[in-house]
Structures are given as C-alpha cells and as structure tokens.
Structure 1
Amino acid sequence: MWIGRQQKQWRIWRLMIIASLFVLVNLQWATVLISPPPMSYSRSVGRRSRREPLATVGYAVSITACSGKLSARVFDAASVLRRSVQLNSWPVHNESSYAAEFYAFSHPSFDSCNEALSLAGWRVLPQGFIDVSSMDEPEGSSLKEGIGSNGCCGDKELMKLFAYTLDEAIAVHLDLDTLVVHPLDELFDVMHFDSVGDEGREARLALLRDGIVAPTYLNRRISGDPTGMTEVDNATERQHASAEEVMADIVVDAFFTKDYNMIRPGEQQKRVGVQGGFLVVRTSMSTYERIVDIVLSGEYYGGHDAKNTGWRKSGYGNHIWGSMTIQGLLAYYFDVEQLERSVELNRCRYNNIADNARVSTFSSNPKFPRGTLLPFVRNASNPRYDFHDTVCRDGRTSCGDTDCQRFPVSNARVLHYT
C-alpha cells in the first residue's frame, strides 16, 4: 500500500514538473519575442498603472466525468489554461485591470481529477449534479426521457450553470481545451461600468467599432431576423433602433458565441445553439434559479423543424446539438427571454475554433466543417482538391467578417481546440 501511494505521488510530481517546464519555456519565449499588443480601444495611462484591480473575475471549469484517460491529462490542461488567464489578467498584463480567481466545479466522488485540479491551482468546489428526476412532464414533453443522453454529457453539463453562483460579480466559464491569448477587459468593462460615465460609454462604442458583437445579434435586435434577410419597409424601419442606439445604453448580463457548424441551412439558421465552451455572465442566484426552473418545468418538445419545437415550443429544438442542455437551453434563454441583456459575440474573436463560415461541397453533409480550399492547391481533375464554399452557415448573404480560418490570431481573445 505504501509503495502504491509513493508511485501515485511520483506520477503527480512528474506531471507537475513536465507542465511547469512547458509553461516556463513558453513564457520565456513569449517574453523575449512578443510584447503584449495594445488594447483595441483607448484606455488611460492611469488604468495601465493601477495598483489595485477594478474587480476580480471568477474563471470556472466543469468536470462532468473523471475517466482514467481524463484524470491523467486534466492537470496539464488545467495548468496551461490557468496560466493563459494569468498572463492576460491584472497584475501580469499591463493592459488589464481585472484580477482572476480560479474555480473548478466537480463531483465530490472524482478524487483523482479533483486532486489534479487542486495541484494545478484551481479551487475545487464539490458539486452534486443538478437533480432532474423531479421535473414536470407536460403532455408531449420529451425532456425527462432524453436529457440524460443529450449532447456531449447529458444533464451533467448543466453543472456549468453553477458559474452564476460564484461570489465574483463577473464569471467566465471555459472548457479545458481553450486558451486565453489576450485580455478580456473589453467585455468586463461593459459589465463593470454603466453607460453614463466615459469608460462605460467608450466600452459600449467599442462593441460595434471593433467588431466585437456578432452581426447576427445586431440583425436580430434591429429586424428580428439574425440572417438579415427579412425585408423591412420604411414605416417599420423607423420603429427599429439603429445598431448604435441598441448598444449605446445596453446593460449586459451575458456574453456568448454560437455554433453555426451544427445546424443546416434554412429555417434552423434563425435558432442556433450556444457554443458551450465560452460563457461570460453576470453572477446572480436569481438567474441561476430561473434557468433551473425552466429545466424542471419539463417544457421541451421534440422535433427538428426549428418552429414549434424545443424549449417552450420556441423552435430551439432537436436540430441543435445539446438542445436539452447548455447549448439549446441557454440559446433559448439568451435569445428569447433575455435578448436585450444577452449579447452574441463574433465567434472568431472569442471562442475561435477555426471553422469555415460557409458550407463546403467537400461533403454531402452540410455540417462537415471543411476548410476553404486555397487556390494554388485546386485540381479540377481530383474531387478531393476541387471543392467549393457555398452558402453562409449563419444565413447571411455575405459572411467574410466571420471567416474564422482567416481571422488574424492577433485579434483573437480566446482560442478553442475543440
């Protein structure tokens, strides 16, 4: 038994040494070769030299299972993610005014994963999974039967909602396979400052000026149609606010991105699921309870037509991967119940997975995320090297502004290796 404990301790220390060397070597090269780029919107010298942070942001990850394979890798992933956040937070990054605390939501029985997370510098908050056994079952509902096997992790993925319960005013929930490469202050400032003061106004102006907000969100707010294809006559147009008016006084409770790779062209493009690897929320116990109440209501109805299906027959249904859990649930909550306070971000800037903005003829399956073919490798005699991009995945006629494969990494904030 003593030998077994000694071997376990040695494995843990070996992982720590490997991860530490990896981080130190890369940090040394980063220090020598790369100076931090300036923030994209104006910030006073006083902020760059501030001795205390404006606020502390809670960064969280969730562990929904702890297999032997994951427990052997979770330390490295958690260490690198944590260090990437530290390098882009106060006080390490001289352009950031927000400090970071690190939390891991994990089941109390996941001993090996919890130990590795603690060693990696995360404060483990043991959490039982949200109990869905007592949910209501309205006539026609398919939630209770299907939620356990839905998406990647079933109802266990609802653990991500615990981010709303952290003590910090702002919480960021990330998947372990993400990397923060630049400060997120441009989002935090919108949440921290009201729209009356100079810094709050500037932060809201930057949402539009710097391409932070997703064009589909602006379309949804202005015309009600995220694809921008709805024709609006002059009388109706006068009733709709401009993009500048929409963002000028906005109060934001959530920032998120959407996953256009997981839906088919057509009606589904108007009701797209949230990409669950990146969430920024204003913490609130009442919001947490509200979302859990939606789940326990059982008001989810099957179907793929994106019309009278899904959550409360809103159209956020089975065509969405993870429709019964985070991806579909939060898409419904953000788009339907809290549209004016929940902002979809440009997914290339935040949560960049290098996805093709358009459907490709490479595969008969329109979900296949094939990359754009470069001209110099095109070969008309070989179908594998003669495919083409077709329609935009988000339903717009032009989507070059969300071509994440061509988006400059220097402008990205979060990369996602999903």
Structure 2
Amino acid sequence: KKSRLIKAIGESYKNSFFWKVFEPEKIAPPNSSDDLPPEIAYVTTLTKCGGHRGSIDGAAVLFHSIRRNSYGWIPMQSQSDSVDFDSSLWPKYGGKGGKYRYKAYVIVDPQASPTIKDKHGDCARFMQSIGWTVLHRPPLVPLFEIPTGEASSGHSSASFDELVKAGYIGVQRPKTGDTARRPGEHPNKLRMLMYNDGCCGDTELLKLHTYGLVGHELAVHLDFDSLILRPMDDLFDVMLGKQKDDKVVESLSIAKLPQSKPVDFSRPIDAAFTRDYNSVKSPSPKSPVGYQGGFLIVRPSLTVLERYRKILQRGEFSLNPRKGWGNKHGGFYGDA
C-alpha cells in the first residue's frame, strides 16, 4: 500500500509541475455565418500511449465516422459519374452526411503529450496527422497537494498558479456532517480510490473539460471505442431548442422514445447521456442511474465546469457505505 501511495503522489506531482512551464492551447472561434450550420465539437481523451498502439486504430475509425456523419460529407457513390454503384451495397444508415459541421479535439494527459519525443508521444502525433486538434488541459483540482516550497521557487505559468490555488481533492471537505470523513478513515483513502478507479483513474476527469469548449454551441465526448453510425441531428436540434412549435416537437422521432421522466422538448437541454445498466451493481429500475462514461453531449459552460471543480475540492464521496458524491449515488463501476 505504501508503494502504491508513493507512486500515486509522484505521478500527481509530475502532472502538476508539467503546468509550471506550459499553458493550455487557446481555441480559435469557429467560422460562422448565416450560410453555415453550427459547428459541433467532438471530443475524446488520450491519457496514455501504450506499447500496443491499439487506441490509434480506434481514433482513426472514430474520426472518419464523425466526418461521414457531418455537414459537407459527400458519399462515395456521388463522387463519380463513371462508375455504376449499386445502392443496395451501401449501409442503410450513416455515411450520408448531416446538418451540422464538426471540429474534432483530443484532450491529452501530459504523459501522452505530443511534446514528448519518445514513443509515449506517438499516439497524439498520429492523431494530429489525421485531423484531430490536440488540447492540453490541466486537472481541475490536483489529486494531491503541491509541495509549497517547490511551488514558490522560480517563475511559473498562470495555469500552475491556478493549480496551487485549487488545492487538492478534498481540501474543502466538511469536518462534520453526513459527508465528512468517517472516524478512522485514512486521509488519502478517497484520493487513492480515485487514482485506481475504473479503467483510467483520476485522469478520466479530463473529460469534464468538454464543458470548456464554449466557442461551440454543443460538444460531444466519445471514447475511442465509439462509432457513429448515423447523424445525431434530431438530438442536436432538440438540445439547441430549435423546435418551438408544439406540433413540431410532437413529430420528433426522439420525443417518441421511452422516457424515464417527462421532458420539455420546447426548452433547450443542457446535457444528454445514455444509461449503462451493465455498470450498476444489482441493476433494477430503482437503481441509481449509471451512465456510459465515454458518451456525453453537453452545452459548454464555464459555470458548470467551475461547479465540478468545487465538487472535487469538497471531496464529499461517501465510502462506508459507498453512496458516492454527496451521498447521491454510488455502487457502479468507475463511480469515483
């Protein structure tokens, strides 16, 4: 346990000090005009570049599926008049373009940065070469406290200064109450749980930076093992509140799907996700909502991003019994 803790602290320090000399990339605003549809941000995250390089195949296929289902894509059978294409050989769904433009981003962890000269930067460099825009983003809150002495020595970037101010996971945890640390609970227990939780530990929280893409009206996060089969235009229309007329709303195919609670489709929707019952312990209709952690559609907002930062700073994740953040859920894979 001690060696695991030392490793976790070391990696947290290394991540934090990466930002002492590095600033996040600024994002150019999308080209916009009355003649162009909105540009949807498609986002994925790269936390490490393993030796087998399996992730880059998924990144390439995902990127192509995004392109095939966005505005401007011309199906192959329409590109040549000299070849007689049999339309029955083409898929029924997908590959025919969509109403919305796209911009593809990959948020990278420092240990997978393309600035690394060796093989650990290869995956990000490959993704850049096929059309992904690489974004470096710091953790909303460091996993462990940054050593005071090292933090104050020498010049530091604005991003690093913000990390120092953020403190660490659980720095503002209440001393008393239902969400306080239990008697006998080790101070680092939550942080160590987050370090090892799910597939990728606390680096999964990089996905929250999807909310920071405020130059886009909507942003979609997808994992590498995702594939878009047809445009999500109906969902984008609904989330952007383009259907104001009740009759139009009632005619939407998405409005006819099963719902666990009433949805007012006449109002803009800020986020959409899919349930994932395979991740829920003892699944039932009354179970806490487990969601597919790789798929999330959001309306970018710095206010919401800051709310997530506050949640992490408070660190109110109940472990015994495991009721999750703010005692509001828990009991499914990767819940920390």
Question: Is this a same-fold pair by TM over 0.5?
Answer: yes
Aligned mate of 1:123, from 115, 130, 133? 133
Task: Tell me which residue corresponds to 2:47.
Answer: 64
SS at match of 2:58: helix
AA paired with 1:83? Answer: H
Aligned ranges 1:336-355 → 2 under 5 Å: none
Q: Would you say the 8 A contact 1:303–1:310 is kept in 2?
A: no
Task: Tell me which residue corresponds to 2:86.
Answer: none
Aligned mate of 2:58, from 71, 74, 77? 77
Task: Tell me which residue corresponds to 1:312.
Answer: 326
Task: Check if 1:202 corresponds to 2:216.
Answer: no
Sequence identity percentage: 32
AA paired with 1:160? Answer: K
Task: Tell me which residue corresponds to 2:200.
Answer: 153
Deviation at 1:296, TM superposition (A): 1.4
Aligned ranges 1:110-189 → 2 under 5 Å: 110=112, 111-130=121-140, 131-133=142-144, 134-135=168-169, 136=171, 137-138=173-174, 139-140=180-181, 143-166=190-213, 167-189=215-237
AA paired with 2:219? Answer: A
**2:224 and 2:311 mapped to 1: Cα distance?**
27
Q: Would you say the 8 A contact 1:164–1:283 is kept in 2?
A: yes
Task: Check if 1:286 corresponds to 2:303.
Answer: yes
Structure 1 94/84 Cα, relative in aligned 2: closer, same or farther at 3 Å? closer
Q: Would you say the 8 A contact 1:148–1:154 is kept in 2?
A: yes
Superposition RMSD in Å:
2.7
> Comparing both structures, which one devotes a greater share of its residues to helix?
1
Q: Would you say the 8 A contact 1:88–1:182 is kept in 2?
A: yes
Deviation at 1:261, TM superposition (A): 1.1
Task: Tell me which residue corresponds to 1:265.
Answer: 282
Deviation at 1:127, TM superposition (A): 2.3
Structure 1 gap ranges (5+): 1-50, 219-242, 325-418
Aligned ranges 1:18-417 → 2 under 5 Å: 52-69=35-52, 72-92=53-73, 96-110=98-112, 111-130=121-140, 131-133=142-144, 134-135=168-169, 136=171, 137-138=173-174, 139-140=180-181, 143-166=190-213, 167-197=215-245, 201-202=248-249, 205-209=252-256, 211=257, 214-215=258-259, 217-218=260-261, 243=262, 246-265=263-282, 269-303=286-320, 309-314=323-328, 316-317=329-330, 319-324=331-336
Structure 2 gap ranges (5+): 1-33, 74-94, 113-120, 145-167, 175-179, 183-188
**1:83 and 1:68 mapped to 2: Cα distance?**
24
* 1:172-225 superposed Cα distances (whole Å, 9 cap, x missing partner): 0000011101001011101223453579x438843222x2xx53x32xxxxxxx
**1:194 and 1:159 mapped to 2: Cα distance?**
30
For structure 1, which segment, 161-170 or 142-151, has the greater mean C-alpha deviation from structure 2 after superposition? 142-151
Structure 1 73/140 Cα, relative in aligned 2: closer, same or farther at 3 Å? same
SS at match of 2:264: helix
**2:267 and 2:320 mapped to 1: Cα distance?**
34
Q: Would you say the 8 A contact 1:75–1:119 is kept in 2?
A: no
**2:226 and 2:284 mapped to 1: Cα distance?**
30
AA paired with 1:65? Answer: K
**1:104 and 1:140 mapped to 2: Cα distance?**
36
**1:303 and 1:154 mapped to 2: Cα distance?**
20
Q: Would you say the 8 A contact 1:148–1:155 is kept in 2?
A: yes
Q: Would you say the 8 A contact 1:195–1:204 is kept in 2?
A: no
Deviation at 1:117, TM superposition (A): 1.0
SS at match of 2:253: helix
**1:189 and 1:267 mapped to 2: Cα distance?**
31
SS at match of 2:106: strand
**1:59 and 1:248 mapped to 2: Cα distance?**
23
Task: Tell me which residue corresponds to 2:30.
Answer: none
**2:225 and 2:128 mapped to 1: Cα distance?**
18
Structure 1 68/55 Cα, relative in aligned 2: closer, same or farther at 3 Å? same
The size of the alignment, in residue pairs, is 237
